[in-house]
Every structure is written in structure tokens, then in C-alpha cells.
Structure 1
């Protein structure tokens, strides 16, 4: 268990909080004024100053509250890495944590400031040193609890968000499953079924011509043999689209390695997964990598791509990168959105970093548990 800060150190936190009171009010005022005038454009520069300042101050108070309480006080902000400036500003505006930080700023600069001033005053006055020693931990804990409540989401709020995410991902999973079944039905109908019908007709004609025109019958049988091979190929393609055999045989690393060999862009596969994830995780990760590499081939104009596989405790991390032109927008196409939906059903996530000029990095993270060990080599260049 981490040792709690001493009264002297807590008083140092109180002094820092007093010193940050004026910047806190300044940042909150800038955010309020900038938000009120953002539609007039003049508020945008004000927000670009006020919001980062407010977030920085809030993070300092989170750190002090975490030290005082002995547990983390997470920010839980919406991700905004590598976003253009105006889009980042829009993300900040949509982020519920921004509004919590704004409300916290006014509480911190009033009630919170009063508590910190009491702690400092108790130390300054010699006659209250005894009281300062015993009261400071309680007062600072009180302030830290208030800061933590306002600057992070509570368990009830997180549970509500979790239920909402599960509801959305369940609906999307059901919809995706129905769409996948329709695709399989269409592929079988248009591919294998049509070829099998042609095969049946050719065999019937060959049987009728066997006595009267053996040469024509042999030609029809040869055509039937070709049709049989094509039908088997169609069926294999459908099966591969459901669960690739190479994935079952060689695991995720081996399947990605085999996938890399079939692409026009050279792909390096690096990583070692000594324990195989569960089948749903492997399948989701494989098709996510397949979609990312398809995007590289179609849109990136890249000379080289790479896939990094890593197991971090109970988290499977896959990074797909390329040296192409960059500028990939996750909201601009259905591919990455489909990947995000597929992984969200397993509590996974997708992060995209794609500045103009490259490189593009797509990071896939999926919680997983071990299924079985494997020894297939997992480093190759395609």
C-alpha cells in the first residue's frame, strides 16, 4: 500500500492549489467567453488558449488528488491524438469531461480555495501548529475527494456508459451477423450453386450423348470437371471468408504472414504470440488486419507496410503501419468503422495516427485470454 503524503507535503499541495486559483478562474473565464462567442469566430482563438490551460490545470489537480487519496484519478477524455486543430477543438467541445472541468474550476476557485487557505493558515500560525498536524490530512482529503468526484467519472456513470456501449455493440453485432449471412447466401447462390447447376446439366447431356456422340460426351465431362474445380474454389472462398483454415492451423501470426505474401505491397510481419488468443479474438484481429492491409493496397500509395503483433498481459495489441501518403480519416470510409465495430463487440478499440505525408499507424487492441500455446515462427517479410 502506498504511503500517504505527510502533512508538510499536503501543505505544499495546498500552496500549489492556492497559486493555481487565479489561473483556474482565468482559464474558466476564457472557456466560458470563448464558448459563448465561438459562432462569431472570434471565440475560437480564445478557446484555443483557455481549453488547453484548463485541461493542464485540471491534470495538476488530478495528480495531487491521486497522491492524497492513494489511487488514480483518471481523466477519461475523448481521444484527440493527431487530429487537426479545429477538429480537436470540436472534440473538446463534445467531451463531457470538458464540461466537468469547467464546473470544477468554479468550485475549485471558491470552496476548494477556502479549504486550501485554511490548511496554509493553520501552518503559518504558531498557535495552531498542533491542529495543523492533525487537521491537514483530513482537510486535504476532503478537498481531494471533491476534486476526484468532479474531475473523473464515478462508477455509476461508468456503468451506465458500459451498458450503453454494450447495447450499441450488441445491435451492431446482430446487424453485422445478419449481413454476413446474407453475403454467404448470395455468394453460394451466385457462385457454387450456379456452377453445380451447370455441372448437373453437363453430366445429364454427357449421359445422353454417351452412345450417340462419345466425343461430345467426353468434352462435356471435361467441362464438368472444370466446373467442379471452380465450384470447390467458390466454396473454399466462402469458407475462407468465415474462418480461414490457415488461421485455425497456424494461429494469428502465421495467418497474417500468409496474408502478407499475397499482397502487392511488401509487408513485414514482426511479433511473437507464445499463447494463442481465443478463436473469436483471433478471427476479429485477422479480419481487422485484412481490412487495414486492403486499405494500404488501395489508398496509401505505400512502398512498404508492416504488422506488429504483441501480447501485453491480457491485451492483444496489433499495429498495422505503412510509409504511404497518410491522411487516413477513420470517419471517411466504411472500412475502419467496420473494424472498430468488429473489435468493439470484444471490448476492443482502434486508434489511427495518419498525419499528412505519413506514416499511417493503425493500433488495434483487444482484451484476450490464452487458448493454447503455439510454436509456429511469426516473423517474415512478404
Structure 2
């Protein structure tokens, strides 16, 4: 769901991905006390108190017992059991955060003991940074949960009690023997909220407190979100290692596919042509004495085949890494690329220096594939390529005025291109509504 600045408009996405706009009669600050999100956050704060106390007591008891028994071997399994229990407690907290706070927190990576057996398992638990982060969470979350519980309960109860005071103030004269809520009293003076003006003012104050309470609770749960994401989620370092391993796999697969393409092009193209050329020259050699004119014609045809084979080899070499890119950089290489495109292309390159050779090559082949897509699928009349640098990032945009409809998620060549860019911490963004125009933006690290 997405809302505008004053909260009157929201966009809801149904199961088929269709977006419908819905207008609310009340702004968000008036609706907040009655929305499901406010109730879920309040329930989260209420549940945090007993759960955090339970986790704190378990953590302190088991960790202290394990640390005290480290003088003997018994302390090691006790600490391992304590950390395992805290990991289970963390799993419960992640589920609670997902369901009540809407926190998109992933489960940490599971333990991977090097060997089988209890000793390997205990070693993996004790060496795991995730286990100790769960212990830290259990220790520091309890004081915050107590504070959040007290603040949230006070604001909710006092706000609604004052807001509904006109409905139940009669309880005091009927059953408590006083005119209303007592604000002040001593031996001689008493101040009660008992006249219509004071009752109305109390209700108005309660309304203000009730309206501000969801935002106070939301601010409190923001801290909880940070704690869950920072301490109970996967380690950033481990996630980065997994991401790099995945990217490395993409790079290896891409390199293997490129090698297979080069092998196929050589086998089906230049190699086959050179084999035929060798056979023609052999025949010409045999006819050289008995039919010189026929031999001359065959040599002339072979000369033409040599030119074609050389052009195929040049095209193949250009597909591996064009010489103009190495010698003169992106500006000249992209201009040469645009000149071969079937659609008129305007090229503008504004770079103070040259990026790393690998990044330069990726940028070149990204533009090359995008221009090929424009030639084959877009039906465009014109296209443009813009390349520039922003701080430590290389940005390039390829646009066309074609029919649009390009989609990265459709499993097309754009998906493979996005994977290649992601392998070097790059980003590919495609804006291509049906009917056009299409704008593809790629962002790469500079690494010059």
C-alpha cells in the first residue's frame, strides 16, 4: 500500500498485481488510532514484556551457569545449549516482528559444523557470531521492553479513559462518593472534574492523547525493528560472502557461455570457411598445369573467401573485446557501435577519465546488447546513448522511441544482462511502458 502526503489517497495492489486507488475521507492522523497497524504495534509492545523477561532470565541464568562451569568441561555444553535456546527465542521474535510489525527480516544462515557429532556441533554454536548476537538481543531488549510497555500502556489507557470520560463520569457520584475525577485535594480544598466544561475539556485532552499515541508507539517499535534487523537477522558479512559466491557463479556461467559461443562461431564460421578454402586451393593446384584459366578462377574465388573469413574473425575478435575500446576508450567504441546499429543513435559520453578496464568492457557490451534489442524488437525511429560519471559510479542510459513493453522479469536477455551487472555490484533499471518510450539505466562501480 502506498499513500500520498496527507494520507487521503492509498494504492492497494490485489493478488493479480493490479493497482487501485482508494480515497479516504479522514486524513491518516485521524485514522491512526483505529487502523490495524496501530493495534498490531500495541499488541507487539504488550507481548514484548513477558517474552523479553523470559528471554532475559534464561540468558542470564544459562550464560552465568555455563561461564561458572567453564573450569570444568560441563560449562561448554551448557553454553552451547544456552546459545541454542537463545537462537530458538530469536526465531520466535522474528516471526513476531514479521507478523505484527511487518519487518522483512530473513532468518540467519544455519549452523554448518565441519564434522558430525556433538563436539563439532558445540564448536559451531560457540563460534557463531549469530548465536552471540541473539544473546545480546535477549540481554538488552528487556529494559527497552519494560520502558516501551510502560509508555504505551499509560498513553493508551489514559487517552481512551479521558476521551470516554463523559460516558462514565457518573460512576464517581453514584459509587465513589465524589463529584468526579479529583485533580487536587487537601483538608479544606478539593478540585473535581464535574461540570460540563471540565468534562468536555477532559474528553478533548483525551482525544489529543489518543491521536498522538499510535505515533508514539510507532516510534517505540522503530527501535524494536532496528534491534531485530541488527541482531536477529543474518550477518551482513556472511550475507555479503553468500552474495559474492552467487555472483561468482554467475560470472563463471557467463564466461563458460561466452567460450561456448566463441567455439561455436569459430567451428561453424571461420573454421568451416577455411577448410573449404583449403580444399579449393588444393583443387586449383591440381588444375594449375592442365587448365590455368580454371585454376586462376578458383584462386580468385579463394581470395574472396579469405576476405570473408578475415571479416568474420574481425567480428569475432570485436565481440570478445574490440580494439577500439582498448585504444581509444568508451567514446570512440560506442560511436563505432552506434554506427553499425540499424537505428540512428545519438551518443554522448562525458567522462573525465577512463574507468577500470573490466568496467569499461561491461559498459560497452551492455550498450551493445541494448542496441541489438532496439534493432531487433523496438521498432524505434531513433535512439540515444548517454554515459557519465557520478562520484564513484559509472552511469549509462539507453533510450528509444519504440513500442516499449521490455521487461526484466520476463526471462529475456535483459534478465541475463541484469545478472551480469549485479555480479559487479551494478544495477539495471528498465522503464518501458507499453507503447513506449523505453529508458534503460545501468549503474556500475567506477573502480578507475
Tell me the distance in 2 between the aligned counterparts of 1:279 and 1:230: 30
- Cα offset for 1:144? 6.1
Pair 20,271 (structure 1): closer, same or farther in 2 beyond 3 Å: farther
Of stretches 176-185 and 325-334 in structure 1, the one that deviates more from structure 2 is 325-334
What secondary structure is seen at the aligned counterpart in 1 of 2:410?
A: coil
Pair 335,109 (structure 1): closer, same or farther in 2 beyond 3 Å: farther
Structure-2 residue corresponding to 1:215: 293
What secondary structure is seen at the aligned counterpart in 1 of 2:404?
A: coil
Deviations 1:94-146 (A, max 9, x none): xxx99956543699999646447889xxxxxxxxxxxxxxxxxxxx9997643
2:440 to 354, 362, 381: 362
Deviations 1:173-219 (A, max 9, x none): 21221121111111111111112112222222222222221111111
Alignment map for 1:175-254 (pairs within 5 Å): 175-254=253-332
Pair 226,342 (structure 1): closer, same or farther in 2 beyond 3 Å: same
Alignment map for 1:32-51 (pairs within 5 Å): none
What secondary structure is seen at the aligned counterpart in 2 of 1:277?
A: coil
Alignment map for 1:74-85 (pairs within 5 Å): none
Tell me the distance in 2 between the aligned counterparts of 1:23 and 1:110: 25
Structure-2 residue corresponding to 1:160: 238
Higher relative contact order (CA 8 A, sep 6+): 1
Q: Is the 8 A contact 2:40 2:101 kept in 1?
A: no
Tell me the distance in 2 between the aligned counterparts of 1:341 and 1:180: 15
2:392 to 314, 329, 342: 314
Q: Is the 8 A contact 1:100 1:151 kept in 2?
A: no
Pair 155,98 (structure 1): closer, same or farther in 2 beyond 3 Å: closer
Structure-2 residue corresponding to 1:104: 101
Q: Is the 8 A contact 1:24 1:109 kept in 2?
A: no
- Cα offset for 1:308? 1.4
Q: Is the 8 A contact 1:21 1:113 kept in 2?
A: no
Corresponding pairs, count = 271
- Cα offset for 1:159? 2.7
Tell me the distance in 1 between the aligned counterparts of 2:419 and 2:319: 17
Pair 332,223 (structure 1): closer, same or farther in 2 beyond 3 Å: same
Structure-2 residue corresponding to 1:22: 33
Deviations 1:270-329 (A, max 9, x none): 231121111111111111111112222222222222111111121111111122222211
Give the gaps of 5 or more residues in structure 2: 1-28, 42-93, 104-140, 156-217
Pair 118,253 (structure 1): closer, same or farther in 2 beyond 3 Å: farther
Pair 28,144 (structure 1): closer, same or farther in 2 beyond 3 Å: closer
RMSD: 3.9
Tell me the distance in 1 between the aligned counterparts of 2:148 and 2:400: 49
Pair 20,191 (structure 1): closer, same or farther in 2 beyond 3 Å: same
Tell me the distance in 2 between the aligned counterparts of 1:268 and 1:154: 50
- Cα offset for 1:19? 9.3
1:343 to 409, 418, 421: 421
Deviations 1:221-262 (A, max 9, x none): 111111111111111121111111221122122211211122
2:369 to 278, 287, 291: 291
What secondary structure is seen at the aligned counterpart in 2 of 1:276?
A: coil
Pair 24,162 (structure 1): closer, same or farther in 2 beyond 3 Å: farther
Tell me the distance in 1 between the aligned counterparts of 2:276 and 2:436: 50
Structure-2 residue corresponding to 1:148: 226
- Cα offset for 1:267? 1.5
Q: Which has the larger radius of gyration?
A: 2
**Once superposed, which parts of structure 1, at least 4 consecutive aligned residues long, lie more than 3 Å away?**
18-30, 97-119, 140-147, 150-157
Tell me the distance in 1 between the aligned counterparts of 2:320 and 2:415: 19
Tell me the distance in 2 between the aligned counterparts of 1:311 and 1:367: 10
For normalisation by structure 1, the TM-score amounts to 0.61
Deviations 1:2-28 (A, max 9, x none): xxxxxxxxxxxxxxxx99973674367
Give the gaps of 5 or more residues in structure 1: 1-17, 31-96, 120-139, 371-382
What secondary structure is seen at the aligned counterpart in 2 of 1:206?
A: helix
Structure-1 residue corresponding to 2:78: none
Q: Is the 8 A contact 2:40 2:100 kept in 1?
A: no
What secondary structure is seen at the aligned counterpart in 1 of 2:442?
A: strand
1:260 to 323, 338, 342: 338
